[in-house]
Amino acid sequence: MTSSQSHEFARQLVARIERWPIAGSFTISRGAKTEAVTVVAEVSHGGHTGRGECVPYPRYGETAETTLAALQAMQEPLSRGLDRTALQAAMPAGAARNALDCALLDLEAKSRSQRVWTLLGRPAPRACTTAFTISLGTPQAMAAATAKAARRPLLKIKLGGDGDERRIAAVRKAAPESELIVDANEAWTSDNLERNLHACAELGVTLVEQPLAAANDAALARIKRPIVVCADESVHDRASLSGLRERYDAVNIKLDKTGGLTEALDMADAAHALGFEIMIGCMVATSLAMAPAMLLAQHARFVDLDGPLLLAHDREDGLRYEGSLVYPPEAALWG
């Protein structure tokens, strides 16, 4: 490699852990938290810096520290010319690759003075309606939280197993006009699956997300599903779509699972071709993590990109939210 080629590929990577306080707490079936721990990757070259943000997920064995280390280990490959295409094979799908994939996309867009959707040959994103999440709690606490959000058109309700029929009934009473989707986060069992599904259907719930544990979801293929059932923990990237069609009607695509926008776009195309409905989801994080997903949201039946709304404050130049409408990112944020 000549010195001029070496200079051309001399990208510099900086990665760090950030902590963002949550407004109150965020509770699902696996526990509660009061802050969002994110990892940010910044790749600089030629006077431009691209950024990407990810949320390590303990459910998949990830921590902020291991994710940071995985990113830092990519400095040498980046300096030797690793590009976004090669990255897909160089790192496994997961949070670390998501941050780096999105940072490289942002850098490429800035370097070419283009918006990222133009770069990728995709339609310009438009404002869309996002779900707003109601954390798991007692039926009374969830009804009170729902009443404050009852004017929002789409609510996502976190459930947790025992008592879910009472929870969803209380929520529906508090928000009679809102479309409801629910997320059990693997907390149901084969014993209460059909009862809970029918209770949701009777109360007009549109979708149930990941009712059973990913390792024990075969029962979904043996029952008649009265409403749409969406895979989350059971689906990660294109390779995990195979065999899910008998068990699920929809898939939740999250960048932290797919390992970035590059794979997520291909996964959405593949899922559509297989007949799945698409949900675009997120972890609790800042607008930097949501921005790339706006390219996916344009063709999704369900959009759940409310992460910044759950924080005490967002980062500078964050996405614009007007009620439940979320607008595409400005270039100052990403892409």
Helix (H, G, I), strand (E, B) or coil at 108: helix
Q: Are 262 and 236 a contacting pair, CB within 8 Å?
A: no
Task: Report residue 215 CA to chain centroid gap.
Answer: 21
Task: Report residue 20 CA to chain centroid gap.
Answer: 17
Taking the C-alpha atoms of residue 8 and residue 291, their distance in angstroms, rounded to an integer, is 28
Q: Which residue has the tokens 């947790």?
A: 160
At 32, phi and psi to the nearest 5? -120, 155
Taking the C-alpha atoms of residue 111 and residue 44, their distance in angstroms, rounded to an integer, is 10
Complete DSSP assignment for 237-289: SGGG-TT-TTT-SEEEE-HHHHTSHHHHHHHHHHHHHTT-EEEE---S--HHH
Q: How many CB atoms lie within 10 A of CB 252?
A: 24
Number of Cα atoms under 13 Å in the Cβ half of residue 75: 9
Biggest alpha carbon–alpha carbon distance for the chain: 69
- Our answer to whether residue 224 is catalytic in this structure is no
- Provide the H-helix boundaries in the chain: 3-8, 64-72, 75-79, 84-90, 95-111, 116-119, 139-148, 164-174, 193-202, 255-258, 261-273, 287-290, 294-297
- Our answer to whether residue 254 is catalytic in this structure is yes
Q: What tokens were used for 97?
A: 């690759």
Of 158, 173, 224, 257, which one is the catalytic site residue?
158
Of 110, 148, 156, 254, which one is the catalytic site residue?
254
User: Which residues are catalytic, by number?
Assistant: 158, 254
